[in-house]
Amino acid sequence: MTKTIIMPLPSKDFDPTEVSIPWKMLKDAGFNVAFATIDGKRGYCDPMMISGEGLDLWGWIPGLKKLRFIGLFLRGDKPSRIAYQELEHDENFLNPKRFEELRVSDFAGMSLAGGHAVGIKQYLEDKTLQRFVAAFFETLDDSGQHKPISAICHGVVLAARSQSLTLNQSVLYGRKTTALTWGFEKSAWDLTRYFARFWDPNYYRTYMETKGEPVGYWSVESEVKRALKEDSDFQDVPQKAKQRFLKASGFFRDSANDNRPSWVVSDGNYISARWQGDVYTMTKEFISKLKHSSNPK
């Protein structure tokens, strides 16, 4: 029986790389991938992460919008753009389930993608989805093991906000995780607000601080840390790690054949990653855990 993996999505603004590459890798490995949105209508990615248009200093000028420099660096790479084109013809993607229809017993694993533009808030804040995510974290498969879950970037925020069904705390409490680091988030924010999208300076910040809150309080890293048992449970690249520059600079991404730039954290059957530059390595680890899971769905 083909195992089915569920991938919830917002109606708009998800990161195309963090959705299309796991989808393609899972399908190529023999899994079925189902999708879900709040209303059962297909979701749409953040278009700037495909085209790169609008991410440069002149991006607000219609005649110059297609001239890209910073945009070519920040958008998804060629394999992810090709994978996203394929995804847009997938029947499951075009006909998703509704969040309220989801049942943990129907799926062998769950993949939580990210995205930073304003539309991702719908996905992060939906209480029905949070309850499903919490149930997925706390449900055991036929062998008594937790079902495999992968989460990347803001997908980890969704997990962090999902409260245990039995305890008054996040399902990530007591787990090791990574997510989009403040260093990565601030670098992208600074790059665009000072050198590119001056007319929309907070494009790379999903949530902003209010008066009296320190800068970065609503960053992904800070919010996730507040859900954990200890700050040290949030794991970033160690100072003495091999290939640290490749992993920590933000200039390099992993690929199907090169995991050196990646940083992925596994805790049991939960796998987490920082950004689209970790997506291949994260998904390979996710697939490995799915293949060793006894759940037949």
Q: How high does pLDDT run on average in the chain?
A: 95
* Confidence band for 146, pLDDT divided at 50, 70 and 90: very high
Q: Indicate whether 294 pLDDT > 70.
A: no
3-class state of residue 178 by DSSP: coil
**Residues 234, 168: Cα–Cα separation, whole Å:** 20
Q: What pTM value is reported for the model? A: 0.96
Model pLDDT for residues 9-28, shown as the tens digit of each residue = 999 999 999 999 999 999 99
Q: How far apart are CA 22 and CA 17, in angstroms?
A: 8
Single-letter amino acid code for the residue at 278:
D
Please give the pLDDT value at position 196: 83
Q: Give the 3-state secondary structure of residue 181.
A: coil
Nearest to 119 by CA among 9, 12, 8: 12
What is the C-alpha to C-alpha distance for residues 158 and 162, in angstroms, rounded to an integer? 6
**Sign of the four-CA dihedral 45, 75, 150, 235:** negative
In this structure, the number of other CB atoms found within 10 A of the CB of residue 258 comes to: 13
Across the chain, where does the E strand assignment appear?
A: 4-8, 12-14, 32-37, 44-45, 97-98, 109-112, 149-152, 264-267, 270-273
Please name the helix (run of DSSP H) or strand (run of DSSP E) that holds residue 193, with its range, or none.
helix 182-195
Q: In sequence order, which residues have a C-beta less than 8 Å from that of residue 91 and are 6 or more positions away?
A: none
> Domains in the chain, please, with CATH?
4-291 (3.40.50.880)
Residue 45 has pLDDT above 90, yes or no: yes
Using one digit for the tens of pLDDT, what is the confidence trace for 91-136?
999 999 999 999 999 999 999 999 999 999 999 999 999 999 999 9
**Which tokens hold the place of 47?**
């278009």
Q: Greatest CA separation found in the chain?
A: 59
Could you report the per-residue pLDDT of 193-243, keeping only the tens digit for each? 998 888 899 999 999 999 999 999 999 999 999 999 999 999 999 999 999
